[in-house]
């Protein structure tokens, strides 16, 4: 079995999207008076050994973050979260990465810690642990082991860009999603999404 202690899980927060449906940079939007990116960083800091933010614009976000964060400059901006995960797996040395979108205002550290504890019992063949809800993966709140990097690189080299498609061919542990979990996984793509969170 692959044991996962808290110091073996690092958070990687993606803050490189276009925010086209939102109309403005959603990482900077306030939710209960706190920028969305800062909110996600705070939660990640409570349940991971380290927190990294992958973005093309580190200077834009450094002033709003109050917890210890490493900024990683995105090598190929706006190419999608799958390529971003690949860069994170190359640059972060922890065995496990908790991949998070920057627009998840309802994240709960207690639930994430519970999911992290489940990593301790994962059999060796499983390389990821990801929520699965309504016949779809929720990849931007999932755990990925460093050993999945070769499969990811091969998938990308063959032109693959779909997170759903990649996970369907991977040995992944499904995380059950209930009502409370589903609420936590809701991201904010439009002003209406943010208002209803």
| 25 labeled part of a ligand binding site | no
pLDDT of residue 3: 42
Strand 9-14 vs strand 50-55: parallel, antiparallel, or unpaired? parallel
pLDDT at residue 55 tops 50: yes
pLDDT of residue 5: 52
pLDDT of residue 124: 85
| 26 labeled part of a ligand binding site | yes
pLDDT of residue 173: 97
| 174 labeled part of a ligand binding site | no
Q: What percent of the chain has pLDDT over 70?
A: 88
pLDDT of residue 1: 38
| 85 labeled part of a ligand binding site | no
**Displacement of CA 7 from its chain's centroid (Å):** 17
| CB 173, CB 110: distance < 8 Å | no
Q: Which domains are seen in the chain, by residue range?
A: 6-195 (3.90.550.10)
Q: What is the tens place of the pLDDT at every residue in 135-173?
A: 999 999 999 999 999 999 999 999 999 999 999 999 999
Whether pTM > 0.85 for this model: the answer is: yes
| 37 labeled part of a ligand binding site | no
Q: How far apart are CA 144 and CA 83, in angstroms?
A: 13
**What are the tokens at 156?**
């990308």
């Amino acid at each position: 079995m692959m044991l996962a202690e808290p110091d073996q899980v690092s958070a990687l927060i993606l803050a490189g999207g276009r925010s086209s449906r939102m109309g403005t940079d959603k990482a900077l939007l306030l939710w209960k008076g706190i920028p969305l990116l800062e909110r996600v960083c705070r939660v990640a800091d409570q349940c991971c050994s380290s927190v990294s933010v992958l973005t093309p614009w580190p200077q834009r976000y450094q002033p709003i973050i109050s917890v210890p964060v490493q900024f990683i400059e995105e090598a190929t901006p706006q190419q999608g979260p799958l390529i971003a995960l690949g860069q994170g797996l190359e640059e972060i040395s922890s065995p496990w990465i908790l991949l998070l979108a920057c627009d998840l205002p309802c994240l709960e550290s207690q639930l994430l810690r519970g999911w992290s504890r489940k990593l301790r019992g994962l059999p060796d063949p499983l390389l990821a642990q990801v929520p699965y809800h309504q016949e779809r993966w929720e990849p931007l709140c999932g755990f990925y082991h460093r050993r999945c990097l070769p499969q990811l690189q091969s998938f990308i080299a063959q032109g693959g860009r779909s997170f759903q498609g990649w996970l369907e061919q991977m040995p992944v542990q499904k995380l059950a999603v209930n009502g409370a979990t589903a609420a936590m996984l809701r991201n904010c793509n439009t002003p209406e999404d943010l208002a209803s969170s």
